[in-house]
Amino acid sequence: MTNFSVYSRESTPPATGNNPELDRIVAQLRISREDTHNIRRGGRIRKMPSRAVLATVVEQLVMALFPTHYGSLDLAEDGVDKYVAGVLGHALRALIQQVRLDLALAADDASDGDTTAAAEEIVREFGSASGDPCRARERPARRL
């Protein structure tokens, strides 16, 4: 059995058989994973943002914007605001976590506190840039 360390480019990958072309492709993919995508910079594996979590965040933002259409079917009039606050709070916390993971991939020496503060600021700016959704309805629709 061949010893193979995923943390070192200098290590020899396990043989894939008698196919030099396949071995070359596997080696290039390993370099891509380790160097190009920076998930193992400095020998430390870094967690990447999740597509599934980001898709859920988008879904939750839509539910918060249109709670009676895409949210819970049994919302009472007095429960809509509470529902929107809960869904929006959850979506924004998840978005902050995903932005923090992305920032950590790019940062060489940033601490968790630094990336968390930066992620919170980015998400806060995202929320501010969204503007007032009520005013958006006052503008006439443009035809495409």
Query: Which pairs count as long-range contacts for 113-121, CB under 8 Å and 24+ apart, including other chains?
Result: 120/96
Give the model's pLDDT for residue 50: 93
Give, for 118, the enclosing helix (H) or strand (E): helix 112-129
Per-position pLDDT tens, the chain of length 144: 444 444 444 455 565 568 888 988 988 888 777 665 555 556 666 788 999 999 999 999 999 999 988 887 777 877 888 999 999 999 999 999 999 998 987 776 666 778 999 999 999 998 887 666 555 555 555 554
| Cα angle for residues 54, 96, 130 (degrees, 5° grid) | 80
Give the model's pLDDT for residue 14: 60
Residue 88 near residue 64 (C-beta atoms within 8 A): yes
Give the model's pLDDT for residue 39: 57
On the CB side of 100, CA atoms within 13 Å amount to 14
| pTM, rounded to two decimals | 0.62
Neighbours of 100 (CB within 10 A): 22
Give the model's pLDDT for residue 141: 53
* Token pair of 90 as six digits: 């959850």
**Cα separation, 103 vs 57, whole angstroms:** 18
* Token pair of 108 as six digits: 């060489």
Neighbours of 3 (CB within 10 A): 7
